Amino acid sequence: MRIFQNIFAYPAYLYHLDKICGRDASFAERLRAMINDGMNGVHLLEPVIKGAPEALLTCNEDKTLQSTWARENGLPAETATDEVLLAQIEQARAEVFYTQASHKYGPDFLRRLPGCVRKRVCWYSPPAPVGDLSPYDLVVNNFPHSVSTLNAQGVRTAYFTPSFDPVMEDYCDNEDRPIDIAFVGGYSRHHRQRAAILEAIAELGEEFHVHFALAPGRLTRLAETPAGWLPPLSKHARPKSVRKVSGLPAYGRAMYKLFSRAKIILNGAVDSAAGDRGNMRCFEAMGCGTMLLSDPGRYPQGMEDGRTMRIYQNAADAVRLIRELLADTEDLKRISSNGLSLMKENYSKSAQWQKFQELLT
């Protein structure tokens, strides 16, 4: 099976990648730097990570990466990224096209795929824009409500999960964890429920070592400028207590390193997750040997309250659990260890790849 995987990356991460490898690296060097950095590592399929000749990878959001490939393959550097992507798929003679950015590759793009492509697969993660997914042969994710809803609309769907990223092996066994509780993620008007939890946890900053690596939304960034302290923008600014414990966003290995230095990782689903849980952060936190503290809902198999993670019901309950866990270090270590074992044993790369192949038969 010749597979072509296209991953998604935010502009902020690509700026981070520029600092890692520069903008003058070759296509292969920049791509390898991205893989080695753990970007989207829980989603990368095993043969892609291993560099198997029948498994190709790119990130079409990365204009530097795509223009580099264009130059190296005789195309003008200014060739549109979608055109570069089509050329890459054709050169690879890919039989399967698998993308994380389903909303960016709709019917018009899929109709232009080379004739070698036999299966069109996408990962769809709510609440991203749905678009028309009917041209895909298979839509996958690990959110049962989303799978059921799309299936009822006539879209062929399947349950499929992220996995343990081998890069985490460099971080998961660390025992020096000076940070008591950490959080990595977005802070915007789309995360009101999450924001309430973060505000409650931030108040613990006077008592414990709390660190938030936040990526503020556009309105939040604007609200925290001198022009934003007046209504209506002021309501989008982070409270002083949150800003006090916040640092820069963390991506790839920088995020894994942060997780490896924390005893507890706080997680909170976006408000429109419909009760389904199991976002990337769950896999990343547990895979780094950190105890996951998350909100109630339906989690992937093995993610169980009191055994491999802890679940809080509301902000006050989260604060209570944090105090209890930090006071009982043996229980905290037990749950963290169970969570790491779950990732390595039940959510390995080989198991993920085996499942992917089964879904295509």
Confidence at residue 241, expressed as pLDDT on a 0 to 100 scale: 93
Q: Record the tokens describing residue 87, joined without a space.
A: 């050329």
Cβ pair 221, 150 in contact under 8 A: no
Residue 184 host element (H or E): strand 179-187
Q: What whole-number distance in Å separates Cα of residue 117 and Cα of residue 114?
A: 6
Cβ pair 65, 31 in contact under 8 A: yes
Q: What whole-number distance in Å separates Cα of residue 284 and Cα of residue 309?
A: 13
Q: What whole-number distance in Å separates Cα of residue 232 and Cα of residue 222?
A: 11
Q: What whole-number distance in Å separates Cα of residue 103 and Cα of residue 135?
A: 12
Going from the C-alpha of 230 to that of each of 189, 192, 236, the distances in angstroms are: 17, 20, 10
| Spans of the chain, pLDDT less than 70 | 189-191, 227-229, 270-273
Measured from the Cβ of residue 40, the count of other Cβ atoms closer than 10 Å reads: 21
DSSP state of 290: P
pTM, entire model = 0.93
Q: What whole-number distance in Å separates Cα of residue 177 and Cα of residue 262?
A: 5
Cβ pair 297, 277 in contact under 8 A: yes
The alpha carbon of 169 is separated from its chain's Cα centroid by a whole number of angstroms, namely 18
Confidence at residue 143, expressed as pLDDT on a 0 to 100 scale: 94
**Residue in 334, 311, 327, 113 with CA at minimum distance from that of residue 121:** 113
Confidence at residue 239, expressed as pLDDT on a 0 to 100 scale: 86
Q: What whole-number distance in Å separates Cα of residue 289 and Cα of residue 256?
A: 10
| Domain at 166-346, CATH homologous superfamily | Glycogen Phosphorylase B; (3.40.50.2000)
Confidence at residue 272, expressed as pLDDT on a 0 to 100 scale: 55
The alpha carbon of 342 is separated from its chain's Cα centroid by a whole number of angstroms, namely 19
Confidence at residue 103, expressed as pLDDT on a 0 to 100 scale: 84
Q: Which CATH number fits domain 3-160: 3.40.50, 3.10.20, 1.10.10, 2.30.29?
A: 3.40.50
pLDDT tens by residue, 266-315: 998 765 567 899 999 999 999 999 999 999 999 999 999 999 999 999 99
Start-end of CATH 3.40.50.2000 domains in the chain: 166-346
**Residue in 300, 289, 294, 295 with CA at minimum distance from that of residue 347:** 300
Going from the C-alpha of 121 to that of each of 59, 145, 191, 245, 292, the distances in angstroms are: 16, 19, 29, 40, 30
**Residue in 62, 52, 51 with CA at minimum distance from that of residue 17:** 62
Residue with tokens 């896999």: 283
Measured from the Cβ of residue 81, the count of other Cβ atoms closer than 10 Å reads: 18
